[in-house]
């Protein structure tokens, strides 16, 4: 096998996971990332199916991901340590053509994939159905978005509008808006179901009192989305704390911005 750690995606996960930690988004073992390898990247591994350690995915393996390889952060991994211990804290799994047992194809020494693997795998399948270039799922505890779930709107349309009105970039970067899942226990089939229902028409879903899931065609795409949403939330919190006397970008401004930048705003959100 050529060294899996030479993959560009591995270097990006190493780099971005540390940046997320530095932003305060990944305290302790908070956060997880998965990346769907391209066919060329998968072939470069020269992995022989059937030879790696086998583990079960209780949620089952969606047809769209059978025969695919996924780069995944380890259960309990600390993002501040990840870049310096790739062999234990990161790895690649192979999702077989048949059965519910997947295989560890590289890395994840003495470890297993994140407890959120089921959510990630089903989210990849949901997003692949609407975007054939879908590759990344990122979860973390982005502080400002998380804080906004405590004091901001609890309706997902209102939540999205509050974010959009803060910065011109909002409707450009996330014209589909963000989904908002009312609080439920992480790692459960319920949260995966609630997330994926919303992911059918959006690239970002916020979990109330927990964190954020973003998706994208590349690591920087998913990370940039997360950064923009968290920045909107930060400005919302700051302006609220400072008295928030201005209404923010008006409906017409949101529509004009979307038109100028060629994005299509989520239907029914702005009159």
CB atoms within 10 A of CB 145: 29
CA end-to-end span of the chain, whole Å?
56
- Indicate which of Zn ion, ligand 2HA, none lies near residue 32 (CB less than 5 to 8 Å, by partner kind): ligand 2HA
Residue 240 CA to residue 245 CA, distance in Å, equals: 8
- Residue 41 annotated as catalytic: no
Cβ partners under 8 Å of residue 225, min gap 6: 173, 174, 203, 204, 214, 216
Angle between helices 143-151 and 219-241 (to 10 degrees): 50
CB of 32 or CB of 228, closer to ligand 2HA: 32
CB of 12 or CB of 116, closer to ligand 2HA: 116
CB of 31 or CB of 62, closer to Zn ion: 31
177 binds ligand 2HA (CB under 6 A): no
The site that binds ligand 2HA (CB under 6 A) totals a number of residues, namely 8
Exactly one of 116, 221, 230, 234 binds ligand 2HA (CB under 6 A); which one? 116
Instruction: Please identify which of the residues 116, 156, 227, 234 carries the catalytic annotation.
Output: 116
Among the listed ranges 17-25, 29-37, 102-110, 232-240, the one in contact with ligand 2HA (CB under 6 A) is 29-37
31 binds ligand 2HA (CB under 6 A): yes
DSSP annotation string for 4-21: GGGSHHHHHHHHHHHHHH
Q: How far is CA 260 from the centre of its chain?
A: 28
* Cβ–Cβ < 8 Å for 248, 235: no
* Cβ–Cβ < 8 Å for 202, 194: no
DSSP three-state, residue 233: helix
Least Cβ distance, residue 153 to ligand 2HA (angstroms): 23
DSSP three-state, residue 106: strand
- Indicate which of Zn ion, ligand 2HA, none lies near residue 114 (CB less than 5 to 8 Å, by partner kind): ligand 2HA
The CA radius of gyration of the chain, in Å to the nearest whole number, is 19
Closest residue to Zn ion in the complex (CB): 211
Question: DSSP assignment, residue 107?
Answer: E
Q: Write each residue from 32 to 71 as x if it is in contact with ligand 2HA (CB under 6 A), else as -, in one continuous string.
A: x---------------------------------------
Among the listed ranges 23-31, 33-41, 240-248, 253-261, the one in contact with ligand 2HA (CB under 6 A) is 23-31
The site that binds Zn ion (CB under 5 A) totals a number of residues, namely 1
Residue 237 CA to residue 4 CA, distance in Å, equals: 42
Binding site for Zn ion (CB under 5 A): 211
Applying CB under 6 A, which residues contact ligand 2HA? 29-32, 114, 116, 139, 186
What are the residue numbers of the active site?
116
């Amino acid at each position: 096998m050529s060294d899996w750690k030479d993959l560009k995606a591995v270097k990006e996960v190493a780099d971005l996971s540390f940046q997320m930690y530095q932003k305060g988004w990944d305290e302790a073992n908070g956060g997880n990332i998965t990346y769907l390898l391209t066919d060329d990247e998968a072939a470069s591994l020269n992995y022989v199916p059937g030879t790696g350690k086998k583990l079960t995915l209780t949620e089952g393996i969606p047809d769209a991901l059978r025969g695919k390889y996924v780069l995944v952060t380890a259960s309990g991994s600390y993002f501040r340590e990840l870049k310096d211990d790739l062999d234990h804290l990161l790895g690649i799994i192979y999702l077989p053509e048949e059965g519910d047992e997947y295989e560890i194809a590289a890395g994840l020494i003495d470890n297993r994939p994140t407890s959120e693997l089921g959510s990630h795998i089903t989210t990849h399948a949901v997003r692949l159905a609407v975007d054939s270039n879908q590759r990344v799922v990122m979860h973390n505890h982005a502080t400002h978005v998380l804080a906004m779930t405590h004091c901001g709107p609890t309706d997902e349309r209102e939540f999205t509008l509050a974010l959009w009105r803060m910065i011109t970039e909002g409707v450009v970067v996330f014209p589909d808006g963000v989904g908002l899942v009312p609080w439920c226990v992480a790692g459960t089939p319920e949260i995966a179901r609630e997330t994926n229902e919303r992911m059918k028409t959006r690239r970002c879903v916020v979990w109330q009192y927990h964190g954020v899931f973003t998706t994208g065609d590349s690591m920087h795409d998913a990370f940039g989305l997360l950064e923009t949403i968290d920045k909107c939330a930060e400005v919302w919190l700051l302006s609220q704390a400072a008295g928030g006397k201005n209404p923010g970008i008006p409906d017409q401004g949101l529509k004009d911005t979307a038109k100028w930048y060629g994005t299509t705003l989520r239907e029914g959100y702005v009159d």
